[in-house]
Amino acid sequence: MRRETMCIQAGYEPKNGESRMIPIIQSTTFKYDTSEDMGKLFDLQAEGYFYTRLQNPTNDMVAAKIAALEGGTAAMLTSSGQAASFFSVFNIAGAGDHIVASATIYGGTFNLFNVTMKRMGIDFTFVDPDCSDEELEAAFRPNTKAVFGETIANPALVVFDIERFAEAAHAHGVPLIIDNTFATPINCRPFEWGADIVIHSTTKYMDGHDTAVGGCIVDSGKFDWRAHADKYPGLTTPDESYHGITYVDQFGLEGAYITKATAQLMRDFGAIQAPQNAFYLNLGLESLAVRMERHCFNAQKVAEYLQKSDAVEWVNYPGLPDNRYYERAKKYMPDGTCGVISFGVKGGRAAAETFMKHLKIGMIATHVADAHTCVLHPASSTHRQLTDEELAAGGVSPDLIRLSVGIEHVDDIIEDLEQALAAVK
């Protein structure tokens, strides 16, 4: 199946007489005939459901659709993108370990890593995604367990050189984890470029309609945990909290990572997505391919319009031929990147605020990447916890406006921008 078809068909195949839509299994609990039957589930000896804190059939059907779209072997839904980022790293790293991460990752992920996970004893080195080979090499340590980057950074719109970072990670015997939220598997499949694990904030384009917060983790099944068994004892030695199961032996390379994350992290942290939200997410996924095409078409036109406007200081969109990442975007995302543009209004911070106040269609929201056009001034909102230096390292200037171009008619979006820019002059 092609991706457009997978959006509709993958993950759930109704049998004769069953509901066409994915059923919402709104149940915390699953019933068994004997204690022995249930015991087998607890020991991971048999497949099945027992408690929705760990797994739910609705979630698994939707996760299977995303796994198919990404070309992965296993996937799980989480309650948010933040939970997905956290689990993706914490599943293979603990106190005393170290992670190499791109400095331009989403502000929420940066804070999770740099503050909260550091408090758990995991150390992070943040590297400029366009750093020299020497700098990248110097970031690795003997206790490094993973490399983490974002296909298209939110909001800096840096296009990550996935292939280069995958090679560096593999040379050090660690996996590359990619946050593919902005590109979505419609525009980029990181596994095709060597990434090992992909995460999503499904809250953005996948849901696509401001409906449900959620996340997803997908495993490519390609990373050879056994070949680096000394680094990943959690996957390659018996888990005493699960009756001595060794994940790679029982579930193979294709299933070990997600099974461990379900059995340990979902069990202990319980950051599961509600089945009702998984249903909404699936509705969003059904139209993801058509929406991404429209987002990219609209954003390209809007970026070209902004570039020509004399009220605008600068425009950053990887689809513009003079953009620093134009060539790299063409390589990794030949069909388009995303609907998000950043730009600076002439007149700096005050002008930016006036401009935003005058928008009629574009709404001011912390949200991004969905059907409705929305705008945000990160320096005074989402990124306000960061210092100016951290902002600069993350590629965010104080005058940066993040414009998430929706799927309305592009002429209405441009007319709205036009009248709001006129109000600034």
Residues that bind ligand PLP (CB under 6 A): 80-82, 85, 106, 108-109, 150, 154, 179, 181-182, 201, 203-204, 213, 215
Min dist. Cβ of residue 233 to ligand PLP (A) = 28
Calculate the CA 121 to chain-centre distance: 24
Q: For the sheet containing 363-364, what is the strand order?
A: 312-316, 340-345, 400-404, 374-376, 363-364
Instruction: Report yes or no: 221 and 238 within 8 Å, Cβ to Cβ.
Output: no
Residue 87 or residue 251: which is nearer to ligand PLP going by CB?
Answer: 87
Residue 151 or residue 262: which is nearer to ligand PLP going by CB?
Answer: 151
Find the angle CA(190)-CA(142)-CA(172) to the nearest 5 degrees. Answer: 35
Min dist. Cβ of residue 102 to ligand PLP (A) = 11
Residue 179 or residue 196: which is nearer to ligand PLP going by CB?
Answer: 179
Instruction: Report yes or no: 59 and 272 within 8 Å, Cβ to Cβ.
Output: yes
Min dist. Cβ of residue 177 to ligand PLP (A) = 12
- Residue 158's closest CA among 126, 186, 111, 135? 126
Indicate if the alpha-carbon torsion angle 132, 117, 178, 250 is positive or negative: positive
Residue 212 or residue 248: which is nearer to ligand PLP going by CB?
Answer: 212
Work out whether strand 340-345 and strand 363-364 pair parallel, antiparallel, or are unpaired.
unpaired
Going by C-beta distance under 8 Å and a sequence separation of 6 or more, which residues neighbour residue 423? 354, 355, 357, 358
Let me know how many helices (H) and strands (E) the chain has, helices first.
18, 12
Min dist. Cβ of residue 155 to ligand PLP (A) = 8
Residue 140 or residue 182: which is nearer to ligand PLP going by CB?
Answer: 182
Token duo for residue 317:
């969109």
Residue 109 or residue 316: which is nearer to ligand PLP going by CB?
Answer: 109
Min dist. Cβ of residue 370 to ligand PLP (A) = 11
Residue 113 or residue 247: which is nearer to ligand PLP going by CB?
Answer: 113
Token duo for residue 419:
């009248």
Instruction: Report yes or no: 42 and 328 within 8 Å, Cβ to Cβ.
Output: no
Min dist. Cβ of residue 362 to ligand PLP (A) = 18
Q: Report the SS3 class of residue 147.
A: strand
d(CA 360, CA 132): 44
Min dist. Cβ of residue 60 to ligand PLP (A) = 19
- Residue 79's closest CA among 240, 245, 213? 213
Task: Select the residue whose beta carbon is closest to ligand PLP and give its number.
Answer: 81
Find the angle CA(36)-CA(275)-CA(262) to the nearest 5 degrees. Answer: 50
Min dist. Cβ of residue 333 to ligand PLP (A) = 15
Residue 86 or residue 242: which is nearer to ligand PLP going by CB?
Answer: 86
